[in-house]
Structure 1
Amino acid sequence: MAGWMWLRCVLGPHLQRIHRSPDHSQPEGRAGRRGWNYKPGSLEKHTDSILGWASVLWSLSYYSSPLLLCYLYRKGYICSSKLVPVSQYVGTVLVCLLGVACLRGWGRWKNSEYLQFMSILEETKKNHTPENKKKLRCYNFDFSSWPSDFSWTEVSNPKLSKAGVSLLKPEPRLRGAADSVLNSVRTLPCHIISFLIAHSFGRRMLYPGSVGLLQKAMRPMLQQGQARLIEEFDGQRNKLVACDGNEIDTMFVDRRRDGGQSGKTLVICCEGNAGFYEVGCMNTPLEGGYSVLGWNHPGFEGSTGVPFPQNEANAMDVVIQFAIHKLGFHLSDIVVYAWSIGGFTASWAAMSYPEIQSLVLDASFDDLLPLALKVMPDSWSPLVQHTVRQYMNLNNAEQLIKFQGPVLLIRRTRDEIITTTGPEDIMSNRGNNLLLKLLQFRYPKIMTDEGIRVVRQWLGASNHLEEASVYSGYEVDDDWCASVLQSYQAERDVLFPWSVGEDMTLEGRRQLALFLARKYMRNFETTHCTPLPASEFHSPWRL
């Protein structure tokens, strides 16, 4: 029995923190509900350090392997006479690391806290009861060893399969059969290069948070943020299994018991390309008193997989299903809130679940392609376009216009990330295009050439004073604009697009265009990565 437990300790996960005692009684000297970092013994600490450095060196070798192999080839080291000694050396290193792992297991076996944790983990895997889950949530450890809490298979959904949820695809060009075959052969090299770019540095440039070395560097910060969510807000960590097999790391904070109206609303947060729920935009609705569900992109921290659009949408789908079927929220109780690149999954959720309460997009863009072209050489434009459309088609605006509910767009007036010419040119902010495309779809008779002109003039304002000056310059009567829209809605009660404004004067259409622009978008005078204060997080406008 002792040998079996020692083997479990050798193969067991890395324990990082104990949030509270499993029986909820705090050890002497540890008052309140604060946890403490796991203290390994001397043997476990030093062996774990050796294995950690080995992992870092392996990561560095993996990412530099193309350059390393080229160097070794040019030096003549890649030949049978040289490879045999190298393989023997590698084998020796692996045997030594195995011995170090066994010594680490011995150190864990001698630690009473680790033994208690392992017994709870094993019991939870055997009996997945709420009481065992509650005890296991007292620990922070490698998420790969965490038992599954919810799977897509638990929900009967005939539209969903292992192939994944549906995405909007780029429209194919119409060609004849012979022309299509010839074109496929001609463009085959472009397809191959695009595939290699997307699956190597392209994906990592787009989602740097999926790079293991960055996650290792951020781990202390992530662990601190996770401890805060669990110990101060009584957060619950859950593992969800998406239809593609990826395991999604989530954190839920329940405020329904607080009695406030905000707590009955669930805000599902979609993070940026280097954002994690531990330190990301989840804190904004938390400060506002909402119930909050955060999740990490595939490949980020505890989540498995890679963050391609299909995997992202699959992850978002299982998060929503979990909120409905496990957490007990109705779609009408759910607000989807996204920051930056998270606008893709948020707009997909709004398109796919139109019954949600509302959508809030902060510092998001309309389409990835213009931003990708900005950072690549002009000569690469055809290749960049093909790669984005085939593998990284983040078409936020196209998805957003299919949502009929309330929308709020938050634009950072000094945004340096989603501008195509620089933060000093506010008109190059792609959030402008997101607003214009939404308004043009919903109110085409108002957003004529003149309507677009005055809205663009309003968007050119870089602060609240300039914005108010443009608004007052056209003498916009808010009460009149609201009454016109309410009358139209009451008489027809139709879905967007609306034909309101078709029999209206030019002055009236200008007023309505500016009125709608200010209702759908709010300016926040800061840069892209500044956390959004809770005071700036508002419910979208409802007519």
Structure 2
Amino acid sequence: MAKLLSCILGPRLYRVYRERGLARPRPIRDQAEDPSRPLLEPSWDSYYQPRTLEKHADSILALASVLWSISYYSSPLAVFYLYRKGYLTVSKVVALSHYVGTMMLLLAGIACLRGIGRWTNPQYIEFITILEDAHRYGTPEHKKKLASYNFDFRSWPVDFRWDEVTSRSDSRNVSLLRSEPKHRSAVNGFLHTIKKLPCQVASFIVAHTFGRRMLYPGSVYLLQKALMPMLLQGQARLVEECNGKRAKLAACDGNEIDTMFMDRRETSEPQGQKLVICCEGNAGFYEVGCLSTPLDAGYSVLGWNHPGFAGSTGVPLPQNEANAMDVVVQYAINRLGFLPEDIILYAWSIGGFTATWAAMSYPDISALILDASFDDLVPLALKVMPESWRGLVTRTVRQHLNLNNGEQLCRYQGLCCWCAGPKMRSSPPRFLKISCPTEGMTCS
């Protein structure tokens, strides 16, 4: 009975990885047409095969999840429409709650049927047993067995915590650069706060509703749902072809960060001793992002997803981004065993914020590479918003979405390569040593 309950509450299993030697051979005709491709084709089709009951129940629950997401994003318009039509009365709200309760009971019943379907599947029983043992014992042997499965990452056990090696005893956020506050008297400061309160409330609402979703579209659930097959294939390629090691990192703010590490230190290539930490763009994931560039060049690579992207939890706000980057660097140094001077930061687009923050906070790193990034978010935001919103946009970005890459870069005195276009990207990289003043900023 306990195993049945585990099947009902257990995570969704997507695929079972196979050893590279067990991958099915490619047809001879394909090999003759393209001799450069390997004889062994990776097991792209090695998806977990659920039983009929589990398969149909999963489809219904997935559809319900998509409908809920659409309802969530359209709820302001729906509430406004219902209010205008006079449907927001007590009697009609009570009737609506009855419908919602009935739907919840039906979905709970479907989840139980899915659990029964899993319970009758020996493959899922084997997986859930390994998952429970990994949580219960946490030994490397159990985690190695668990790495053969790709499933809902929320159930993956934590592999590294931010406080394992840090000297900080509390869970405060890491430091960000902030502008020095203007000095005012107590009375003037209070009156100024009251005067600016409506604007601050408006900025908060804009930043935490559509603002951060426009800035980080990869955190939108519907987009992730559409990209799920591509992400699963990307993970399969990294695990089966590149011996990738997936890990969950717990940041100081409670967010869990999804990472993938490819170790090339055992190869004969000297660049394998260097680790490249990749920071993806605002709609990028390590499964299909810029990680392939240093990987093809023979470097050891560590990829990670922004908070709220794919397996990572949380929302992609600047403070959460810095917290995530901090635990990623700590993981690379203290668990993977790389020295700071052997670490290269490689960022694409909006990933330049976390990369420049890490370069500022860990000045001993080897180098920083910024590809198609920017120095300040405000000018970019003003270009895509109405001119009449200039004040609101500037205030919102500065207070809640301040990606001040240029200011952080000025705090890094090491080597930096900034690729600003296709012409520069196609030429050999040129590294410059950064040196610029940093007055007017405080680290808090």
Normalising by the residue count of structure 1, what TM-score does the alignment of the two structures yield?
A: 0.75
Q: 1:331 to 1:539 in 2, by over 3 A?
A: farther
Q: 1:129 to 1:33 in 2, by over 3 A?
A: farther
Query: Residue 417 of structure 2: which of 408, 416, 431 is its match?
Result: 408
In structure 2, the residue matched to 1:500 is none
Offset of 1:541 from its aligned partner? 5.3
Q: Does 1:382 align with 2:421?
A: no
In structure 2, the residue matched to 1:146 is 156
Aligned ranges 1:226-241 → 2 under 5 Å:
226-241=235-250
Number of equivalenced pairs = 420
In the alignment, the residues of structure 1 paired with residue 164 and residue 92 of structure 2 have an alpha-carbon distance, to the nearest angstrom, of 54
CA contact (8 A) 2:359 2:412 kept: yes
Offset of 1:542 from its aligned partner? 7.3
In the alignment, the residues of structure 1 paired with residue 337 and residue 115 of structure 2 have an alpha-carbon distance, to the nearest angstrom, of 41
Q: Does 1:524 align with 2:425?
A: yes
Q: Which amino acid aligns with 2:181?
A: P
In the alignment, the residues of structure 2 paired with residue 369 and residue 161 of structure 1 have an alpha-carbon distance, to the nearest angstrom, of 33
In the alignment, the residues of structure 2 paired with residue 308 and residue 27 of structure 1 have an alpha-carbon distance, to the nearest angstrom, of 41
Query: Residue 164 of structure 1: which of 163, 167, 173 is its match?
Result: 173
Q: 1:361 to 1:161 in 2, by over 3 A?
A: farther
CA contact (8 A) 1:284 1:537 kept: no
Q: 1:281 to 1:29 in 2, by over 3 A?
A: closer
Q: Which amino acid aligns with 1:126?
A: R
SS of the equivalent of 1:84 reads: helix
| 1:246-274 deviation per Cα after TM superposition (whole angstroms, max 9, x unaligned) | 00000000000002111000000000000
Q: Which amino acid aligns with 1:100?
A: I
Offset of 1:382 from its aligned partner? 1.1
In the alignment, the residues of structure 1 paired with residue 430 and residue 337 of structure 2 have an alpha-carbon distance, to the nearest angstrom, of 22
In structure 1, the residue matched to 2:5 is 7
Aligned ranges 1:83-482 → 2 under 5 Å:
83-158=93-168, 161-412=170-421
SS of the equivalent of 2:166 reads: coil
Offset of 1:386 from its aligned partner? 0.8
| 1:366-421 deviation per Cα after TM superposition (whole angstroms, max 9, x unaligned) | 100000111111111111111111001111110101111111000115xxxxxxxx
In structure 2, the residue matched to 1:37 is 47
Q: Which amino acid aligns with 1:332?
A: E
Q: Which amino acid aligns with 1:19?
A: Y
Offset of 1:27 from its aligned partner? 9.7
Offset of 1:97 from its aligned partner? 0.8
| 1:309-341 deviation per Cα after TM superposition (whole angstroms, max 9, x unaligned) | 110000000000000111000000000000000
SS of the equivalent of 1:268 reads: strand
In the alignment, the residues of structure 2 paired with residue 107 and residue 539 of structure 1 have an alpha-carbon distance, to the nearest angstrom, of 57
Pairwise CA RMSD: 2.0
In structure 2, the residue matched to 1:540 is 431
| 1:478-511 deviation per Cα after TM superposition (whole angstroms, max 9, x unaligned) | xxxxxxxxxxxxxxxxxxxxxxxxxxxxxxxxxx
Structure 2 gap ranges (5+) = 27-39, 435-444
SS of the equivalent of 2:266 reads: helix
CA contact (8 A) 1:285 1:537 kept: no
Offset of 1:209 from its aligned partner? 0.3
Q: 1:355 to 1:29 in 2, by over 3 A?
A: closer
Q: 1:25 to 1:259 in 2, by over 3 A?
A: closer
Q: 1:406 to 1:29 in 2, by over 3 A?
A: closer
SS of the equivalent of 2:177 reads: coil
Offset of 1:92 from its aligned partner? 1.1
In the alignment, the residues of structure 2 paired with residue 542 and residue 382 of structure 1 have an alpha-carbon distance, to the nearest angstrom, of 35
CA contact (8 A) 1:26 1:32 kept: no
Structure 1 gap ranges (5+) = 414-462, 464-522, 526-535
CA contact (8 A) 1:269 1:292 kept: yes
Q: Which amino acid aligns with 1:121?
A: L
In the alignment, the residues of structure 2 paired with residue 185 and residue 70 of structure 1 have an alpha-carbon distance, to the nearest angstrom, of 29
In structure 1, the residue matched to 2:438 is none
Q: Which amino acid aligns with 2:115?
A: G
CA contact (8 A) 1:323 1:329 kept: yes
SS of the equivalent of 1:335 reads: strand
**Which protein is bigger by CA-based radius of gyration?**
1
SS of the equivalent of 2:66 reads: helix
Q: 1:224 to 1:33 in 2, by over 3 A?
A: closer
In the alignment, the residues of structure 2 paired with residue 249 and residue 28 of structure 1 have an alpha-carbon distance, to the nearest angstrom, of 29
In the alignment, the residues of structure 2 paired with residue 79 and residue 292 of structure 1 have an alpha-carbon distance, to the nearest angstrom, of 57
In the alignment, the residues of structure 1 paired with residue 276 and residue 401 of structure 2 have an alpha-carbon distance, to the nearest angstrom, of 26
SS of the equivalent of 1:37 reads: coil
Offset of 1:524 from its aligned partner? 3.1
In the alignment, the residues of structure 2 paired with residue 287 and residue 25 of structure 1 have an alpha-carbon distance, to the nearest angstrom, of 21
Offset of 1:186 from its aligned partner? 0.7
CA contact (8 A) 1:170 1:389 kept: no
Q: Does 1:70 align with 2:70?
A: no
Offset of 1:170 from its aligned partner? 2.1
Q: Which amino acid aligns with 1:145?
A: S
Aligned-pair identity in percent equals: 60
CA contact (8 A) 1:47 1:103 kept: yes
SS of the equivalent of 1:169 reads: strand
Normalising by the residue count of structure 2, what TM-score does the alignment of the two structures yield?
A: 0.91
SS of the equivalent of 2:124 reads: helix
Q: Which amino acid aligns with 2:129?
A: S
In the alignment, the residues of structure 1 paired with residue 42 and residue 175 of structure 2 have an alpha-carbon distance, to the nearest angstrom, of 44
